[in-house]
Amino acid sequence: MTAVKDATDDYFRHKSDNQVNNRLSEVLINSKLQNEKWMNVKVGDIVKLENNQFVAADLLLLSSSEPHSLCYIETAELDGETNLKVRHALSVTSELGADINRLAKFDGIVVCEAPNNKLDKFMGVLSWKDSKHSLNNENIILRGCILRNTSWCFGMVIFAGPDTKLIQNSGKTKLKRTSIDRLLNTLVLWIFGFLVCLGIILAIGNSIWENQVGDQFRTFLFWKEGMKNPVFSGFLTFWSYIIILNTVVPISLYVSMEVIRLGHSYFINWDRRMYYSGKSTPAEARTTTLNEELGQIEYIFSDKTGTLTQNIMTFKKCSINGKIYGEVHDDMGQKTHMTKKNEPVDFSVNPQADRTFQFFDHRLMESIKLGDSKVYEFLRLLALCHTVMSEENSAGQLIYQVQSPDEGALVTAARNFGFIFKSRTPETITVEELGTLVTYQLLAFLDFNNIRKRMSVIVRNPEGQIKLYCKGADTILFEKLHPSNEDLLNLTTDHLSEFAGEGLRTLAIAYRDLDDKYFKEWHKMLEDANALMDERDERIAGLYEEIERDLMLLGATAVEDKLQEGVIETITNLSLAHIKIWVLTGDKQETAINIGYACNMLTDDMKDVFIISGNTAVEVREELRKAKENLFGQNRSSSNGHVVFEKQQLELDSVVEETITGDYALIINGHSLAHALESDVKNDLIELACMCKTVVCCRVTPLQKAQVVELVKNYRHAVTLAIGDGANDVSMIKSAHIGVGISGQEGLQAVLASDYSFAQFRYLQRLLLVHGRWSYFRMCKFLRYFFYKNFAFTLVHFWFGFFCGFSAQTVYDQWFIALFNIVYTSLPVLAMGIFDQDVSDQSSMDYPQLYEPGQLNLLFNKHKFFICMAHGIYTSLVLFFIPYGAFYNVAGEDGQLIADYQSFAVTMATSLVIVVSVQIALDTSYWTVINHVFIWGSIATYFSVLFTMHSNGIFGIFPSQFPFVGNARHSLTQKCIWLVILLTTVASVMPVVVFRFLKVDLFPTLSDQIRQRQKSQKKARPLRSQRPQTRRSSSRRSGYAFAHQEGYGELITSGRNMRAKNPPPASGLEKTPYNSTSWIENLCKKTTDTVSSFSQDKTVKL
């Protein structure tokens, strides 16, 4: 049964894999481009890729549609980063272009490194045309990337299939089994040993009985003297009892478990509340063997990009000259919460506005109408200081090619408010300002990097003024401000804290007017620095620092990295369920921290946030030691570096965890994590991390994600769940006990490797708190009842052995033994295992603490097994000895003897069926029609079969098979028999009823309390009030996060990424009216009614 089910699961996985393997790519075959399946792409093939297409293999870029054979790729599936990256072909191969004949004749030879999992490194040499050319990672496009903003490109396959770096990072698929499965394997061995012990006891009894009593039967049985050896008789009896008592070994248990798991899987598939209508995607249980493990999760490892976030940036708010824009106000000017009734700003007056952009604060448009110079300068900066490229599509619409979604959001906002970035050349930037085309001369581009955390442009406007526009992290930029900005700085700082408290990504905005003479001197020094061979980068950085000072603050931007719907509520509920959530992302530290705050995983109320960023093993060890000192105290850390036995370490950690007060968080970078995962440091890492409420790992590779999961599995022995949506999450998903794939923006690699899949992160709480908890609850209740039933049924034979001379005589009719587990008791326990629930699904979501018993493994463990075993033994004693005592030397109502073997067997069998049926009725918490039909129907079926098999008719047909002829009719018409059955049932069930009553009354569990509350209320629970958004303004922190990459400034100023266009005006400085009248007139017409009310509040008081 299990083999068939597993084979079915593998078949459906195979079908899913085929969908990927059968994707088509254009491959150059016999000088023609032909569609070829991914599975048939091999090393040396030349493949053509088109825009927005997935890359089928690791390719050497040969040529592309872009200037200098550049191409842009999105690597979110590999490293989780949302910004585009640039790859370029070698100059010798870029000449091939799109010429199919020349590409077909390409006969270069590549000698490179062996297949490996390093995503950021590649070493190789291309030999072609009697020359050799070195290759590095900038020339390679990896499988899993998506081609963006590039019409086409050609590449030669370097690695294909399992040799690709993506698959090398995916890890091996492991056979996953639940902790209950592993426990059952142990228990079955114990039960088998128990069966052998019973057989030995009865065999010894038989040998003794044969030796002392059996001699008296030899004459009667016509045995010759010494014919039957007592020892040999005991040996035969041992095997006879092994056969008779074999029902104590739960063979049918495994079949029943698979049926129950299958039912639970269908419940997940059919759950409409986990169906995402946006993509018509239902939840899917891709395996049927792990359902109850969903109710025992202690650690969740989550990807960030596409899992917690939508990978969509939206301009939400800004602070300009000390005034916040982006908040919603009522008629009285008071700030209110956003509702569906709020009307967005009407951008229809701007024909080139992005129609998808929404902004609800009308005051910003009013400030533009009133000609606020600070607002103009703010929006002008957003339109000038960026690396965005623009082009027009066939419909004449302006399309932005953005390197990072943050910049796209800022430039789009400026565009909608009338400052439209139109085009750029290496020397100029053209902006349409409120209908007027203005061309700025680009004098210098001070590029972004992770150390500077800012970027600047120096431009000359048509009036001849030189301005430096700068945007970057507030913590860096505020140090560069002119002292006259102190008042505005304090106000903007408060606004930034407010934005950061709302989880928004912030950038500070500033500018500086430059003197022409000073700029020329500075630019000359910059040219000299660029010509240096030694210390070039340091000199350039110093010059950047020199000119980026005495800045004038304009304000700040607040961009929302849109979380998926329900992420905050989901994380909050899972945290209340004592599930620890770790974020493992390939993205930058600032971005990950920002999302941590946005999700409420990180809060300002935390006692401390430990940041581990050491570059060497010594630095990492020292940072971990200091963090442990802060967390545990000096004495606790003094044992650092010593080996502690694992069991003692776990006990010590559990004690320390109870003594820690307050919440802590740990943030660690990928390069530090590589050292922390070394054998002599990993103990410190796992000890510190497991004491923290939140752990965020940044810049981690796919393999490191899997290593972190394995670390927690091995050292904490906790049940883990990994959730992600990209190919970079596959290894993590495979390593965790449960792998969940989100069918999101990044393809289907994660889904194909997962055990469960759905479309939105918010469905995770329903999967765990409802389906997982119910599955665990049902499975444990099923197992407890099943073991009880088997022991009660089987051990009666053991007691009977002491009264039948240990002759291996069965106490029941052989047909009853055959049908008991299959017919009489199979369906009720299946119904309970599939449908039962202690509280409703809504209560499971409302009270996440209900999840805790699964984490602590309270509902079924070795202790519970022995309780079930003792309960079964007690029931078997009652089932045997009460009828035995009642039948001892008793006559029936008609004066005939009723204490015969057959009547005794029928009485015991009837008592057993009724007792186990009443017991399952007591165990059932949630009654359905199916439960009623199966429980009471099983009793009815028993009596129907009993009277049929004891009838004269069937005895006449099969006299040797049905010897109990007429016994049921004779026995069950006696009142004393029914009194014996009643007494047996009451004696078996009453202790359980009393115990449970006292337990619920004196020591109720949380589920008992909730059930009692629901019964007492008997009315609909009032709707929960929406939790208001709280602003964390208790402490100052930066909300800076910028998904940008160094190097784009050089690309822009060199012109290598620009197509040839009409030359710019000779001076480079022109101002051209462009539909200005209609734009301004339309704006005036739209806003005439509101000018008077706004003019009263047009000044800003500091």
Give the residue numbers annotated as catalytic, written as ranges: 303
Q: How far is CA 566 from CA 307, 583, 596, 601, in A?
A: 12, 17, 15, 14
3-state secondary structure 1011-1062: HHHHHHHCCCCCCCCCCCCCCCCCCCCCCECCCCCCCHHHHHHHCCCCCCCC
503: left (phi over 0), alpha (psi -120 to 50) or beta: left
Strand partners, 431: 421, 438
Dihedral sign from CA coordinates of 434, 437, 442, 446 = positive
- Structure tokens given for 156: 């030669």
Rounded distance between C-alpha atoms, residue 722 and residue 703, angstroms: 13
**DSSP label at residue 913:** H
Half-sphere exposure of 187 (CA within 13 A, CB side): 25
- 315-330 b/e (C-beta count within 10 Å ≥ 16 → b): bbbbbbbbbbbbebee
Are 772 and 295 in contact by the 8 Å Cβ rule? The answer is yes
Half-sphere exposure of 88 (CA within 13 A, CB side): 10
Residue where the block lists tokens 């400034």: 1049
Report helix, strand or coil for 47: strand
- Structure tokens given for 5: 């089910």
Integer-rounded Cα radius of gyration of the chain: 38
Closest by Cα among 563, 472, 1044, 1007 to 762: 563
- Structure tokens given for 130: 């009697």
**DSSP label at residue 807:** -
Q: Which helix (H) or strand (E) holds 493?
A: helix 486-501
Are 995 and 1003 in contact by the 8 Å Cβ rule? The answer is no
Are 347 and 1061 in contact by the 8 Å Cβ rule? The answer is no
Half-sphere exposure of 622 (CA within 13 A, CB side): 7
Rounded distance between C-alpha atoms, residue 547 and residue 515, angstroms: 11
Closest by Cα among 904, 979, 930, 922 to 788: 922
Are 567 and 561 in contact by the 8 Å Cβ rule? The answer is no
Instruction: Please report how the helices 773-801 and 862-887 are oriented relative to each other, as an axis angle in degrees rounded to 10.
Output: 40
- Catalogue the E-assigned strands of 82-160: 84-88, 109-112, 124-128, 131-135, 140-141, 146-148, 152-159
Q: Which helix (H) or strand (E) holds 953?
A: helix 952-957
Q: How many CB atoms lie within 10 A of CB 86?
A: 17
- Structure tokens given for 534: 């030694």
Strands 580-584 and 299-302: parallel
Rounded distance between C-alpha atoms, residue 672 and residue 685, angstroms: 11
Find the Cα–Cα–Cα–Cα dihedral 602, 604, 610, 611, rounded to 10°. Answer: 70
Q: How far is CA 229 from CA 199, 202, 210, in A?
A: 18, 16, 8
Q: What are phi and psi of 721, to 5 degrees?
A: -135, 135
Give residues with Cβ within 8 angstroms of 765, minimum separation 6.
569, 570, 573, 574, 845, 848
- Structure tokens given for 402: 């953005």
Q: How far is CA 548 from CA 129, 551, 805, 1051, in A?
A: 48, 7, 102, 21
Rounded distance between C-alpha atoms, residue 1082 and residue 1088, angstroms: 10
Rounded distance between C-alpha atoms, residue 633 and residue 1066, angstroms: 70
